[in-house]
Structure 1
Amino acid sequence: MDPLAQAVVAGATPQELERLPVPAEYTAAHLRIEEIAGFNGVADKDVRKSIHVGSVPMPELAPNEVLVAVLASGINYNTVWSAMFEPIPTFTFLKHYATSDRWAARHDQPFHVLGSDAAGVVVRAGSGVRRWKAGDEVVITTAYVDDEDPATHADGMLGAGQLAWGFETNFGGLGHYCVARASQVLPKPAHLTWEEAAANPLCAGTAYRMLVSDRGARMKQGDVVLIWGAAGGLGAYASQLVRGGGGIAVGVVSSEEKAERARALGCHVVINREEIGLTGNEPADPTTVGKRLGRLIRSAVGEDPHIVFEHVGRATFGVSVFVVRRGGTVVTCGSSTGYVHEFDNRYLWMRLKRIIGSHGANLEEQAEVNRLLTLGKLRPALSVTYPLTETAEAARLVQRNRHTGKVGVLALAPSTGLGVSDPQRREQLGGDAVAPLLTRS
């Protein structure tokens, strides 16, 4: 650990942090460009073979950026996609982005530092940054936007230059340091640990936009919401948002252990995939499975779902379109089982259903999520934490869908449980129960 990182861990003052030099290199979880073809013809694209933890060069800081010493980060499915080099190698994204301007050119490297979540301490702020300074405790959100694009000022996610930080950009959160634009930064909730705070931005923000935002499904009180993967990273936040917003959460999970977790997160009804004959990642017959699922939902809550929270993709999308009620909404992001979806369009057009595509969350939506977390109305979905040296194992857990909630990664934090600056507030909100899925030793 370099002197600046040591000072952060020791709780140095902002003045001390500013006096210490930024290291020329830092430790990070990254991919290597020469390994792009390593999984060609391989059935099991084991991400433990492609994710490396080691030293990478420190980039120059742009005027609108901050350099953050990362105390904790997290694994998202985009890290798995990157490490599998699917659907295309993310080095292709970096090379394309590098043509934009001289600051973008820094991202085109023979390595790609991964990670789309982070919590840490600002150690440097670019000359154009006004709101953030050395010593600030922050979380990093995922939307990397172009503030010179007019569409960005209507909605950050609509700008043509919008990118997913740590996936379509370099220098992400899975390292001792990360580089982020000032427009990605929010204050860390003071009652959360580093790892709890780092678990939230991508998945919680995405779920909020999909369900609550006026750009998503616009969930209202009493809506029945079907949540695929209700105990996973996205589903864990969706379950809480539905319950907290007065909706009726119907979760679908793949095991009894995950069913217990989904109930703990607020699902009113939980259905095991095996009950409806949906196993593995291959799509089953949508009508057969959809009828079984519909019967179970109606038996439990008396009516069909108003909204389907869809992120599984190919294996479930046809069922989602079939099972949502007349005039209902399927809101979709990602496709962990495949991007090419098949569904019977008669059930969409003749029953006046809608499909809404959703991606990430803009800064305002992320700020609303951060407020809910700060108020204790939304709780971190962190379930387990790995050290940075075991990032590949953490990503493999997500790749194989053996996890619940979010999988965290400790970067500079020497142990779990650190970073709480308002212990009184934490106790008011339930102490360690603020993270209901987390198993503590």
Structure 2
Amino acid sequence: MKEIRDVILSEQYDAEQLRNLPIPESYRAAVVLHDDVDMFGDIPAENRDPAKSLTLSEVPTPEPGPGEVLVAVMASSINYNTVWSAIFEPMHTFGFLKRYAKAVPSAGIHDQPFHVLGSDMSGVVLKTGPGVHRWQVGDKVVAHCLSVELSSADGHDDSMLDPDQRIWGYETNYGGLAQLSLVKANQLMPKPAHLTWEEAASSGLVHSTAYRQLISRNGAQIKVGDVVLIWGAAGGLGSYATQLVLRAGGIPVCVVSSDHKAELVRSQGAELIINRAEEGFRFWKDPETPDPKEWKRFGARIRDLTGGDDPDVVFEHPGRETMGASVYVARRGGTIVTCASTSGYQHQYDNRYLWMALKRIVGTHFANYREAWEANRLIAKGAVHPTLSAVYDLDEVGVATRRVHANAHSGKVGVLCLAPRPGLGVDDPEFRARHIDQINRFREPADN
């Protein structure tokens, strides 16, 4: 692995030299183990420590099959699905791997007693399988996390509707939190030349998800002037949603949980901000009883900020904690677009506010290849910027995941894999210099 890394980091980058290097028989990866799926017993999900289950291990190097690519991973990032995998909630992910192997004969290699996690990655193509023509050894790439077979007609209008659609590094093995990774060729996109390895690796999942939710015809398809309520506006998803709404000419109403996070979204250009902690919004009287009075107080606060307008669109992802309020505050005929349920999957809302006000709830999930490509292009053009806040080494992946689980972060948390230190991988320093303040906006002082 050292030889591979040294070639990639050399000033005279030589793809031919990389092609001639032997590929190691094994590599270091962040894994959870099948033997550990019961380790937390009856401990509530919110109290489970992912650093106890996530370990570094040597795993055998997979051989890329038809349409597949082996990538030398320079950096990755932590997503909430890494947390779910590591705390074995709402279920352990080995069932996904077993079903994948059973459904797709060529996927048998994914059914292992270990699961290499990670649904983001930046790196360099190391080896291609049969039938791969678009990508060559030595190409600098990022990956989106849609793994799809496209064997059904359902997937050919929107590949996210394919019954064999899966999330790489969560529902498949050999993810990005590792020195090597196995992906399908149609997961790859060009690495933005002005970004470091860790910056480039931080955007794929969350930015593509937010793009589909807000911009795509498969989501809310927001327009100029739309008022968009954004939950968790300084988090991984929300920090990109805020940028997209502003770029699209919308009016974001950003919900955050601290003064620091309020300043972060304000620095992005958002003006309408609700600090939930400061204003004391609590949407549940107790774990089983929602509080409609708080929905109404929240709606009134939004109208105070907007000059009387209710949200045209609600960017929903916390789930159980916020869905009742989201349905209530959306304007008549408005849209609640949801992609996750990080606070719980069992939602409660008052359906009168949905059906009688002709609102709609739209479910979205990650993005198809075209949507992910368009989102990545916005990053490459400097129209949207990564929101990387902190960077950890691969051997600190458990600590990094614990931080995301505790919501003790802003933006995205990156992980160095083969990259020996932050700040490497920039190929267009002049373009980078024009955007450096925006790129570093979320960075914590230790990482500047």
Q: State how 1:91-130 maps to structure 2 within 5 Å.
A: 91-130=94-133
Deviations, residues 227-275 of structure 1 (Å, cap 9, x unaligned):
0000000000000000111000001111111111121223221101131
Aligned to 1:83: 86
> Which stretch shows the higher mean deviation, 273-282 or 310-319?
273-282
Aligned to 2:62: 59
Alignment CA distance shift 1:173-1:182 (3 Å): same
Q: Match of 1:69, SS?
A: strand
> Which stretch shows the higher mean deviation, 295-304 or 212-221?
295-304
Q: Match of 1:214, SS?
A: coil
Separation of aligned partners in 1, 2:287 and 2:253: 22
Check the 8 A contact 2:80/2:405 in 1, yes or no: yes
Aligned to 2:170: 167
Aligned to 2:193: 190
TM-superposed deviation, 1:348: 0.4
Aligned to 1:30: 31
Separation of aligned partners in 2, 1:119 and 1:332: 27
The one of 356, 360, 365 equivalent to 2:366 is: 360
Q: Which amino acid aligns with 2:443?
A: L
Q: State how 1:17-416 maps to structure 2 within 5 Å.
A: 17-43=18-44, 44-274=47-277, 275-278=279-282, 285-302=290-307, 303-416=309-422
TM-superposed deviation, 1:51: 0.2
Aligned to 1:8: 8
Separation of aligned partners in 2, 1:320 and 1:91: 34
Q: Which amino acid aligns with 2:428?
A: D
Separation of aligned partners in 2, 1:116 and 1:202: 7
Q: Match of 2:94, SS?
A: helix
Separation of aligned partners in 2, 1:222 and 1:286: 31
Q: State how 1:407-426 maps to structure 2 within 5 Å.
A: 407-426=413-432
Separation of aligned partners in 2, 1:96 and 1:10: 42
Alignment CA distance shift 1:276-1:292 (3 Å): farther
Alignment CA distance shift 1:194-1:339 (3 Å): same
Q: Which amino acid aligns with 1:425?
A: F
Q: Which amino acid aligns with 1:142?
A: C
Unaligned runs of 5+ in 2: none
Separation of aligned partners in 2, 1:350 and 1:432: 46
TM-score of the aligned structures, taking structure 1 as reference length: 0.97
Separation of aligned partners in 1, 2:424 and 2:152: 39
Separation of aligned partners in 2, 1:234 and 1:282: 25
Deviations, residues 85-134 of structure 1 (Å, cap 9, x unaligned):
11110001001111123321000001000000000000111111010011
TM-superposed deviation, 1:278: 2.3
Separation of aligned partners in 2, 1:322 and 1:388: 43
TM-superposed deviation, 1:40: 1.2
Check the 8 A contact 2:283/2:292 in 1, yes or no: no
TM-superposed deviation, 1:285: 3.1
Q: Which amino acid aligns with 1:270?
A: I
Separation of aligned partners in 2, 1:284 and 1:393: 34
TM-superposed deviation, 1:49: 0.4
- Residue correspondences, number: 440
Check the 8 A contact 2:339/2:363 in 1, yes or no: yes
Q: Which amino acid aligns with 1:412?
A: L
Check the 8 A contact 1:217/1:331 in 2, yes or no: yes
Separation of aligned partners in 1, 2:394 and 2:317: 27
Q: Match of 2:90, SS?
A: coil
Separation of aligned partners in 1, 2:104 and 2:204: 27
Runs of 4+ in 1 over 6 A off after TM superposition: none
Q: Which amino acid aligns with 1:316?
A: T
Q: Which amino acid aligns with 2:23?
A: V
Alignment CA distance shift 1:283-1:426 (3 Å): farther
Q: Which amino acid aligns with 2:135?
A: W
Alignment CA distance shift 1:279-1:58 (3 Å): farther
Q: Match of 2:176, SS?
A: coil
